[in-house]
A = this chain, B = another copy of it.
């Protein structure tokens, strides 16, 4: 509930066509990564067409539009806008014409040298019509293309100038190119379905379209699909050191995704287990805040030998158009979003697990809700450590003054949210949650230490 990431991307080459429709289903599976705008660009007989707008995938696309976009290659994007109003202009994929024809660019992540890049291009006469990194990346590619013999070479040269997080799909009339930054901040995997080659932010989207997971795109790697042939450019891999955003495991990703070899569900469950070891307490039931606290709650229950229970029911219909109760009754909003299951918590000592605590407001309301429903004790556990620093790589973490952990000690937070006890996953334990992962991690939002100087 508290933290938003900026994007999900999905791309496909399929000689059998119908690619926009496959992207549509892929984006449905990635909708949790961004709900403010979305878009699909497709190539049919080397011609680019596209559609994008503000709204959910199900709102932006209708059958007629999908049919119009048909083609043998397509890329799609779901977006969460972190700054300013929701601008339709910023919906992606970015589509453009440049010296060699058309390009579509879909980007997940956040660059840290945006300002410098922008200035550089502006001093060459560039104009910017959006505030997205995609437009910067497109300029970089377009300018390198003047010197390079192929679009993939231009991409390879262009990304050398980018610092920060970028999982990228670039589509030219004949090629589909997937790129991941050398730090590997954001996930990007590759799959197959018959002759089709597919890229997706998370493996759950491969499953959704009936594709087989093949492998991760590696940090720094550039994968080029052309007419069914897949080649890899690894020139930028040399300097690569893997720093996957560890919050992907805790909150962003769907539990049925596997990222860098690690099941997201299992990572969360393990976080629960580690919490149980670190902060044991006598209790009658362990419950999770749906949806992202459920897996950790199961892990905690297993480790602690305390029954797992369903203590909170989430209203599935709260969306963009929900009219929040006014100032005086803001406390009421959580009641509409979460219904306490009295028979589960009444008269019980309850351990309640949430994925993280940002401002503390929601946690306080949930604790209060559970007490109202009869819980005699409420012990809160957070499967993330306290947030103490901003993220520069695509996660929308509030200012320090809004981060409760920047202003209060754990004991003070416990008192503020009204819990009987409170425990955060430790940094040490954090690095144990994903033992199957074949990557290193970025934990900057919990430590203030980043893989790139910012």
Contact = CB atoms under 8 A, between A and B. Distances in A.
Contacts of A302: 307
A316 interface: yes
Interface string A199-236: 00000100111100000000000000000000000000
Interface in A309-364: 309-310, 312-313, 315-323, 325, 332, 335-336, 339-344
Given A139-B125, A310-B294, A207 B335 contact: yes
A315 B27 CA distance: 11
Interface string A398-423: 00000000000000000000000000
Nearest to A302: B307
Contact of A29 (B125, B298, B315): B315
A398 to B, nearest CB: 24
A170 B291 CA distance: 38
A133 interface: no
Interface stretch (A172-180, A254-262, A437-445): A254-262
A3 interface: no
A4 interface: no
B129 A343 contact: no
A99 interface: yes
A146 B125 contact: yes
**Chain copies in complex:** 4
A149 interface: no
Interface in A14-34: 21, 24-25, 28-29, 31-32
A61 interface: yes
B256 A342 contact: yes
Contacts of A63: 323
A10 interface: no
Interface in A92-125: 94-99, 103, 119, 121-125
A175 B325 CA distance: 26
Contacts of A343: 258, 263, 265-266
A169 to B, nearest CB: 17
Interface string A276-302: 000000000000000100110010001
Contacts of A208: 315, 335-336, 339
Contacts of A310: 255, 265, 294-295, 298
A370 interface: no
A316 B316 contact: yes
B332 A210 contact: yes
B58 A207 contact: no
A80 to B, nearest CB: 14
Interface of A: 21, 24-25, 28-29, 31-32, 56-59, 61-63, 66, 94-99, 103, 119, 121-129, 135, 138-139, 142-143, 145-146, 204, 207-210, 254-256, 258, 263, 265-266, 291, 294-295, 298, 302, 307-310, 312-313, 315-323, 325, 332, 335-336, 339-344
8 contacts: A28-B315, A56-B317, A95-B129, A98-B125, A129-B129, A208-B339, A263-B341, A265-B344
Given A58-B317, A125-B146, A129-B129, 11 more contacts: A28-B315, A56-B317, A58-B321, A98-B128, A204-B339, A207-B339, A207-B340, A255-B313, A256-B339, A258-B342, A263-B343
Closest 8 CB pairs of A and B: A125-B143, A263-B343, A256-B339, A99-B122, A58-B321, A256-B313, A97-B128, A31-B317
